Amino acid sequence: MNYDVLAIIEGYAQGYFLMAEEDESLQWYSSKDRTLIPLDARFRYPKSLQRVLNSDKFTVAINRDFKAVVKGCANRETTWISKELQEIYWALYLNGWAYSFETWLGDELAGGILGIAIGGLFIGESMFYRIPDGSKVAMVKLVEKLRSHSFVLFDAQMINPHLERFGAYQVADVEYQRLLKQSLQRRCRLI
């Protein structure tokens, strides 16, 4: 299928995100409160993860196996990542908007984060792991990468206990829109 990639990016740039319904139809969503992953000193992670990071057990890659990360993120009993949304992510990837931030244990994909980058905005769409700590290491290394490339905003969309462990916090839509506007004025590159 052909998708209007720029129209989709415009939707994300306005603060909306796509999700599939139970019938797999796609809908644009927004939220009164948005979840952000801090890119400053508020970012934190469990102390036990520091040992894993120090061990260099995992290697990190960007877009080494984009399709496998999308499949890993969609591989749940109940998922909002339909086949059509997987195709959209692929179209966004081919056009330089979507990225997979991956951890590897040797030649085995350990975990990853699927996201969209627009200007200084990184939108974390989903994450998964196959090997314990795979997605946690990906989160830490992604934040480091976003910081080093001067990203303004890491939008995680919705809060959950896992993200709270990394310092995720919510902002009202007014604050989100202000940060969104600021982030879109940047010209940041992930790779």
pLDDT digits (tens, 9 = 90+) for 115-169: 999 999 999 999 999 999 999 999 999 999 999 999 999 999 989 998 999 999 9
Q: What are residue 147's phi and psi, to 5 degrees?
A: -60, -50
Measured in whole angstroms, how far is the alpha carbon of residue 118 from the centre of its chain?
12
Gap between the terminal Cα atoms of the chain: 27
Residue ranges for the chain with pLDDT beneath 50: none
| pLDDT in the model for residue 22 | 87
| CATH class given for the domain over 5-184 | alpha beta
| pLDDT in the model for residue 46 | 86
Measured in whole angstroms, how far is the alpha carbon of residue 162 from the centre of its chain?
14
| pLDDT in the model for residue 77 | 85
Total-model pTM: 0.94
Q: What is the DSSP string of 59-91?
A: EEEESSSHHHHHHHHH-SSS-S--HHHHHHHHH
The percent helix, strand, coil of the chain (3-state, each to 5) is 35, 30, 35
Q: Where are the domains of the chain?
A: 5-184
Could you count the other beta carbons within 10 Å of the beta carbon of residue 126? 21
102, HSE (Cβ side, Cα atoms, 13 Å)? 23
At a CB cut-off of 8 Å and minimum separation 6, what does 9 contact? Answer: 92, 97, 116, 118
DSSP category for residue 140: H
| pLDDT in the model for residue 122 | 98
